[in-house]
Every structure is written in C-alpha cells, then in structure tokens.
Chain A
Amino acid sequence: MSLDPRVRIIAFFLVAVSVALSRSFSAVLFFLPYLVFILFLERVKPSHFKKLIPANLFLVFIFLTVPLREALLIFVKCNLILSFLIVLVSTERFPVLIHALHHLKLPDKLVHLVFFTYRYVHIIDEEYRTFMKAAKARGFHPKTDRITYKTLSYILANLIVRSYEKSKWAYKSMVCRGFHGVFPLYYHFEMGFKDLCFLGFTFVYVGALWARYSGLKMFM
C-alpha cells in the first residue's frame, strides 16, 4: 500500500519518540504488534533489515560495560526504532522524502541543502571510486606506511579541490537558469482516505500506550 510520505514521517516520529521515552520492556514491546501491522501493510523485503547489522556495532560497547538488563532494553529499543525507520521512511524514494520535508514546513535553505548534498554524494562517491581505481591500477596496496597515508590524503584533498571547482560551476549554472532561491514544484501530494485512517490509527495506538502507562509515569 502506498501511503502519503508526509503521513509516514509523522507516524514515524510519533512512534519513535514514544519508544525512545519508554523505560520498561512492556512499554517497548507494546509496539511490536504495530510493527507487524505495518510489515503486513507494506510488504517490506526482508533484505532491507540487513541494514540493522552495522547499526548494532555501537551497542557492542554498551553490552561490554553496562548491566545486562539495561543493555538488553537499549538493544530492543534501538532495533525497534530503526525498524520503524526502515519500514516507514527508508522504503520511500529519497527525492520524494525531501519533497515531503518541504511540505512539513522545514526551512527552505535546509531542504535545499539536503537536496544538493544528496545529489553531490553520488558525484563525490563516483570520483572517489575513480581515484581508487586509478591508484590500484598503479599498484597501490594499502599498508600502514607513509606512502599509503600520503596517497589516501591526496585523494581526499583532490575530492576537496573538485568540490571547490564544481561548486563554482554549479552556482553559475543555477544563476544562468534564473535561480532566485526557489525550486518550482510541478507535483503535489494528495492525502487520501487511507492516509487519514492510518494516521488516526497511529494516534489512537500511541495514545493508548500513553494512557495505559498513565502519562509521564512510564518515563520515570
């Protein structure tokens, strides 16, 4: 089912904040049925959940040093919030999300910077791969020595130089096309009946949790 991206973002924040605020297992596990419900609605591919593995690396530090019960709670909370992020937000195409952020009244400059950066990440990534390929073709083999550090640093410095030059061209070409701080939009979202139903359901679900743990008591 395709939901309005704005509804997805709002629903994510409602649920994620509630999970982050919870201090007990029962409050956190209350959201598991909701996750299953969205999984059922959205039919997310299991391969999307592979992204959870690197996110858990930080938790190794926590598991090594913090009492087990506390660490387990953090583990469950972290993975639950990230699962919601995956099923509700990350499944949407990125340009559509940026568009949705614009409609959620985020400042224009912020939305533009997200848009530019998303575009340029791909350019810089491509440049980086090209530089690395060129270095490998010349027999570059990373080790802990002066030449490795120098090579990697010069590649990085070259990325900065390219950024500097390309940014000048990018701005000039924007001005040439009459840019004055606004990107015109030709496509608009429409919130349908099913979006409102979903949003209402989310509000009721989160509200039920808050009522059950009698407001602020669950944060103590």
Chain B
Amino acid sequence: MHISEGVLPVTTLALGWGATACGLYIGFRKLDYHRMPFVAFLSAVFFIGSFVHVPLGPTSVHLVLNGIVGMLLGWASFPAMFVALFIQALLFQFGGLLVLGVNTLNMAAPAVVVHYLFRDWLRSGDGVKFVLASVLGASGAVLMSAVMVGLELMSCGGEFRNAALLVFAAHIPVAVVEAVVAFFVFSFLRKSRPEVLKEL
C-alpha cells in the first residue's frame, strides 16, 4: 500500500527520506556492478508483482512481494524498491515523489529484517525450517509494512487512528496470500534453481 501525496506532515516525510537515504547508501555500497543486472531484474519483478491480482473469495488482492524479493536481495532491497517505486510514481502516479522516501522505507526496511532473520533457514536442507522461513518471512514483511504505514498515519494526529487501523486490517488477507505464494515460489526455486537461493 503506497501512501499518497499530501497526506503526511513534513517531519514524517523528512524522517522517511533520511532513513531511506541511509538505506540507499548502505545498499549501493554493497552493490557491485556484476550484481546490478540481477537487482534491476528483481526490481522489475517487484514492479510487475503489484499488477498480479490473486483471487481471494469474491474479490482479489494484488501481491506486495517485499518479503519474497527482499529475502533474495538483503540490503539491495533499498535501491531495488526505491527505483521500482520511483518508476511507478512517474509512470502511473502511484504514491508520489515527495512520499517516495517514506514508501521506500515501508517496503525495504521489513525486507532487510526478514532477509537477515530467515536467510539461513531458507538455505538449510531442513524442510520444516524452509517452510517456516518462506511463510513467516513473506507474511512478516507485509505485516511490518502495514504497521509502519499505520504509525506514519498516526503521526498526522489522533483523528487518523481509525485510518491506521483500517489500513492494517486490509493488509491481513494480503499477508495470508503472500505467505501461500511465497511457499510455492521458494519450493519451486529450491527444486529447479537451487543456486538462486545458495547465493543469498
């Protein structure tokens, strides 16, 4: 969920940009040119992922993918998601340029967290650990993002409390769908291209 332009107060926007700038600095320092095409491709997958609609009962939800892509990228999530959101903001006016800092932070910070929490479990041969890593990593990243969006909305003032709760509630079905998708995606990768997971 991207926060729209003009909603958040200046301090929150500035803090978001500051944190994202730090993340970008670390991300780019760790990113060599030989890995850049891969990061750019995964950034493109993250971009297209928000157009994949998964049916859920009478409605459908669109994938967030910050957990799935984030677990593969680590600190490179910051550059990858920043660029994807930047292009989405310019081409489709999703989110916007001033809230880009906050929106990148919401997507990429949970991605870095789940990458370091579950990286080892995802690579291990143990089946139970592998399933737990993919399910908890993907849904955890989505829920963390939802909490961050909620907190940022609360920073606008007390009357945004209900909006924050509503946004969080809307993310719960997304987290469930994302967990199922992550399980299938990582099982497929483990079966057909284990080297993608080995390089984490």
A-side residues, CB < 8 A to B, are 12-13, 16-17, 19-21, 51-52, 54-56, 58-59, 61-62, 64-67, 70, 74, 76-78, 80-82, 85-86, 89-90, 94, 97, 107, 109-110, 112-114, 116-121, 123-125, 128, 142-144, 148-150, 152-154, 156-164, 166-168, 170-171, 174, 179, 181, 219
Q: How many angstroms between the C-alpha atoms of A76 and B7 in the bound complex?
A: 10
CA distance A51 to B94 in the complex (A): 9
Interfacial chain A residues near B87, Cβ < 8 Å: 94, 114, 117-118, 121
> Could you tell me the distance between the alpha carbons of A78 and B98 in the complex, rounded to whole angstroms?
11
- Please report the C-alpha to C-alpha distance between residue A66 and residue B163 in the assembled complex, in whole angstroms: 7
For the complex, is B48 an interface residue (Cβ under 8 Å from A)? yes
Interface residues of chain B, those whose CB is within 8 Å of chain A, are 1-7, 10, 13, 24, 28, 31, 33-34, 36-45, 47-49, 51-57, 60, 63, 65, 68, 72, 79-80, 83-84, 86-87, 89-94, 96-98, 159-160, 162-163, 166-167, 170, 177, 180-186, 188-189, 192-193, 195-196
A78 B38 Cβ-Cβ under 8 A = no
25 contacts between A and B (CB under 8 A): A16-B98, A20-B13, A54-B93, A55-B94, A61-B167, A81-B96, A86-B93, A89-B90, A90-B90, A94-B87, A94-B91, A113-B39, A120-B37, A120-B40, A120-B41, A128-B48, A142-B53, A153-B182, A153-B184, A156-B185, A157-B185, A161-B192, A166-B37, A171-B34, A219-B10
Distance of A121 Cα from B50 Cα, bound (Å): 12
Q: How far is the CA of A120 from the CA of B42 in the complex (A)?
A: 9
CB of A181 within 8 A of CB of B33, answer yes
A191 to B68, CA, bound (A): 44
A160 engages B42 (CB within 8 Å): yes
**What residues of A have a CB within 8 angstroms of the CB of B94 in the complex?**
54-55
Chain B contacts of A12 at CB under 8 A? 97
A28 to B57, CA, bound (A): 42
Q: Do residues A113 and B6 form an inter-chain contact, with CB atoms below 8 A?
A: no
Q: Is the interface of B mostly helix, strand, loop or mixed?
A: helix
Contact across chains for B52 and A167 when beta carbons are under 8 A apart: no
Q: How far is the CB of A132 from chain B (nearest CB, A)?
A: 9
Q: How far is the CB of A140 from chain B (nearest CB, A)?
A: 12
Chain A residues in 8 Å Cβ range of B182: 153
In the complex, the answer to whether B49 meets A64 with C-beta atoms within 8 Å is no
Interchain CB contact under 8 A, A16 and B52: no
Do B45 and A156 have beta carbons less than 8 Å apart? yes
Does A82 contact B96, Cβ atoms closer than 8 Å? yes
Q: Is the CB of A152 within 8 A of B97?
A: no
Do A97 and B90 touch across chains, with their CB atoms under 8 A apart?
yes
Cβ–Cβ contact B6 & A81, under 8 A: yes
The answer on a CB contact under 8 Å between A124 and B41 is: yes
CB distance from A102 to the nearest CB of B (A): 14
Given that A61-B166, A123-B44, A163-B42 are contacting pairs, would A153 and B188 also be in contact in the complex, using a CB cutoff of 8 Å?
A: yes
Partner of B36, one of A89, A113, A123, A143: A113
**Residue in chain B with minimal CB distance to A132:** B52
Question: What is the CB-to-nearest-CB distance from B154 to chain A, in angstroms, rounded to a whole number?
Answer: 12
Given A54-B92, A94-B91, A156-B185, are A144 and B24 neighbors across the interface (CB < 8 Å)?
Answer: no
Q: In the bound complex, how far is the Cα of B150 from the Cα of A2, in angstroms?
A: 42
Give the chain A neighbours of B84 by CB distance below 8 A: 117
B48 touches A159 (CB 8 A): yes
Given contact pairs A157-B184, A219-B10, A121 touches B93 in the complex (Cβ within 8 A):
no
Per CB-CB distance, the 3 closest pairs between chain A and chain B, nearest first, are A77-B6, A153-B184, A163-B41
> How far apart are the CA atoms of A219 and B167 in the complex, in Å?
27
Q: A52 — which chain B residues lie within 8 A by C-beta? A: 93
Neighbouring B residues of A107 by C-beta, 8 Å = 28
Residues in B with CB closer than 8 Å to A97 are: 90
Identify the closest chain A residue to B45 (Cβ).
Answer: A159
Using Cβ atoms and an 8 Å threshold, which residues of chain B touch A174?
37
Q: Is the CB of A124 within 8 A of B163?
A: no
